[in-house]
């Protein structure tokens, strides 16, 4: 039945995002025609690429995408934990926060398995369907579209990009078949004023690296790619540190217009990538609008440059 198929899909994708390309995950993925062209032979190199892409580059946590500061934890993580408890799901969070994508997919797999068991036992399954509908529409599909775009455009291995797309398709079709909708996403106010004399470079950087405020996810590799486009070096460290160093370097070399233009191109490309979710019936208007506002911010910065 369909609930069993969904359980298997969520469980498999969740294991990939949690564990990487282990032999059992590889064997299961090999059964999916949709990933055949990007599925490599299991190796330490692939495992390392998975770790770097998800642990150091694209952070698959809801709080990173939805919290105003773009940091782990906060109200987002607490809300996810509450939803797990409602569904009788009690995962270990020793190695990852509760709002990690892998645990969210494991939760949906848990609900789908419980639904299938309820049907088999002749027990009312509607409460489980309600939990699935609420979690998909009110939580997962609020932030999965920008994560999918980030994986597609900035992850270091194409397998992760493909599975990100397939996860989005699975979640969107699941919600549609349950008769649910994704409510309009509410994002925190950007709270960045370039005309405020107290606004500093670190404030601009904080805005740009917070997806909920800027509408774009700038990974470390994404920042490095922007730097390469304008032929400027970038340092090491966290995403905010890399971006701040790059902005300083551009100023020192009088290359701010080129850098701001490259950043604008990256934002525009990210906005265009959200169209895939819209085609699946997912409301991404808030994310697109934030991207448009960031383009205006970059234009203002460019217009304020001397000469």
CA-based nearest residue to 211, from 102, 67, 99, 85: 67
**What digits encode the pLDDT tens for the residues 90-104?**
998 888 899 999 999
pLDDT higher than threshold 70 for residue 52: no
| DSSP secondary structure, 98-152, as one string | TTBHHHHHHHHHHHHHHHHHHHHHT---HHHHHHHHHHIIIIIHHHHHHHHHHHH
Q: How far, rounded to the nearest angstrom, does the alpha carbon of residue 75 sit from its chain's CA centroid?
A: 17
> 61 has which bridge partners?
100
Q: Where are the beta strands (DSSP E) in the chain?
A: none
**What digits encode the pLDDT tens for the residues 217-255?**
999 989 999 999 999 988 788 999 999 999 999 999 999
pLDDT-based confidence at 142, cuts 50/70/90?
A: very high
Q: Are 77 and 62 spatial neighbours (Cβ–Cβ below 8 Å)?
A: yes
Instruction: Give pLDDT, residue 49.
Output: 60
Distance CA 185, CA 200 (A): 29
**What digits encode the pLDDT tens for the residues 17-45?**
998 888 888 889 989 999 989 887 765 55
pTM: 0.93
């Amino acid at each position: 039945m369909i609930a069993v198929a969904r359980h298997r899909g969520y469980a498999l994708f969740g294991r990939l995002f949690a564990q990487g390309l282990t032999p059992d995950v590889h064997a299961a993925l090999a059964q999916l025609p949709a990933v055949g062209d990007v599925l490599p032979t299991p190796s330490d190199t692939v495992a390392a690429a998975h770790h770097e892409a998800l642990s150091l580059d694209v952070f698959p946590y809801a709080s990173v995408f939805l919290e105003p500061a773009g940091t782990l934890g906060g109200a987002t993580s607490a809300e996810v934990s509450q939803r797990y408890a409602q569904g009788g799901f009690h995962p270990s969070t020793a190695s990852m926060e509760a709002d990690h994508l892998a645990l969210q997919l494991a939760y949906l797999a848990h609900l789908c398995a419980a639904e299938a068991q309820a049907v088999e036992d002749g027990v009312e399954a509607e409460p489980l369907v309600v939990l699935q509908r609420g979690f998909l529409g009110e939580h997962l599909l609020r932030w999965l579209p920008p994560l999918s775009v980030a994986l597609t455009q900035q992850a270091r291995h194409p397998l992760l990009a493909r599975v990100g797309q397939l996860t989005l398709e699975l979640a969107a079709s699941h919600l549609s078949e349950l008769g649910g909708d994704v409510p309009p996403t509410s994002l925190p106010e950007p709270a960045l004023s370039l005309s405020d004399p107290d606004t500093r470079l670190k404030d601009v950087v904080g805005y740009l690296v917070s997806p909920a405020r800027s509408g774009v996810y700038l990974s470390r590799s994404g920042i490095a790619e922007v730097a390469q486009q304008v032929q400027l070096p970038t340092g090491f460290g966290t995403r905010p540190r890399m971006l701040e160093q790059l902005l300083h370097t551009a100023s020192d070399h009088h290359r701010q217009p080129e850098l701001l233009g490259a950043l604008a191109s990256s934002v525009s490309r990210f906005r265009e990538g959200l169209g895939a979710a819209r085609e699946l019936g997912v409301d991404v208007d808030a994310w697109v609008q934030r991207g448009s506002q960031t383009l205006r911010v970059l234009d203002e910065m460019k217009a304020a440059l001397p000469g």
